[in-house]
Structure 1
Amino acid sequence: MKVIETSIPDVRIIEPAVFGDARGFFMESWSRRTFAEAGLDLDFVQDNHSRSVQGTLRGLHYQIRQPQGKLVRVTVGAVFDVAVDLRRSSPTFGRWVGVELTAENHRQLWVPPGFGHGFYVTSDVAEFQYKCTDYYAPEHERCIRWDDPDLGIEWPECSIEGKPIVSDKDRLGVRFMHAECYR
């Protein structure tokens, strides 16, 4: 397994060892021991799986209490995945990092607690799977607008009339300047 630092040191790209031949491939997507040896000593309590069509944008989501760390990956298709630092005490507060995750590149992204998270589907369809360090708590969930100009996230060109497909909840997300953030 290879761990790659991003421009925000706490957000990391994970490249698992992939063993392939004419039959297909095998990879270990999670091993507590291997991750701990790489400096990521994590405890997951929940696995999630979503399927989305091209042009769907989910996020930017976070929980103000019971913050979730997420180990995310794509098992079908491709997405542009984004993490935004919402920790006021961090030197990278308000900065974002984006990574292409695909079924073919097998990359995973570690998004620590204290970050907003979202993704945009660039393939016909994408299946997105992620492990969480805390349980989903809808009463603590918050959403920041995906297109907030103060964040300036450089999403891939939207495929449907210049606008992504978003849920009502995501459409009603708040501006970064008004968002509840972590200390």
Structure 2
Amino acid sequence: MTSCDQDFVELIEAAIRQDRWALKVFDSWGKPLPSGLLVGNFFWIGNYDECIQPIYSPESKTFVKQPFDTLHCTLFPESEISQMNLTENIVLGLCVPASCDRKAVASLIRELFKKSNVSDEQIVCSNEQKNLSTGPVATCFVLALLGILVLIGTIVHLVLAANRNSIARLTSHINIPFFFDETCRDEV
């Protein structure tokens, strides 16, 4: 028996005893609310925050202890949305013990929901780090470069404007434009 299986057995036993932390875990699972499966309500993602965060007890002003941490996993349908079998299209969120990996969650779903076609590639868990592909990295680089260019342009503009104002203040007592205007008129 894996640690995931042991934690899940402990979770079920605690839920039967109606321990608050276990009820919170199951309460955070995705449910068909609001109704409307026939009109496209396929997103039963549950409550991520309720799954991850411990329960706060205002009476004792402490957090309720859990024997293990939890993580939120989401099952995505493998194929395009099909009108034939609506239950195959549901995006389902589950709160599971943190000791479980995607394979264990896929196995759990196969057991609980009698779905033999669920694979671990269809499951994404909250503890997984996704590496960015080259497209998003290149986009971030280009945006950062543009931001730096805008910042440099703004600084240059402010410096030039400050220099122009200080030169104007220094030469304000000399009537240079009128001097040039008079000389230019005499030559014409």
- The TM tier, using the shorter chain, reads under 0.3
The higher-RCO structure (CA 8 Å, 6+ apart) is 1
More helix by share: 2
* Structure with the bigger percentage of strand: 1
Tell me which structure has the larger Cα radius of gyration: 2
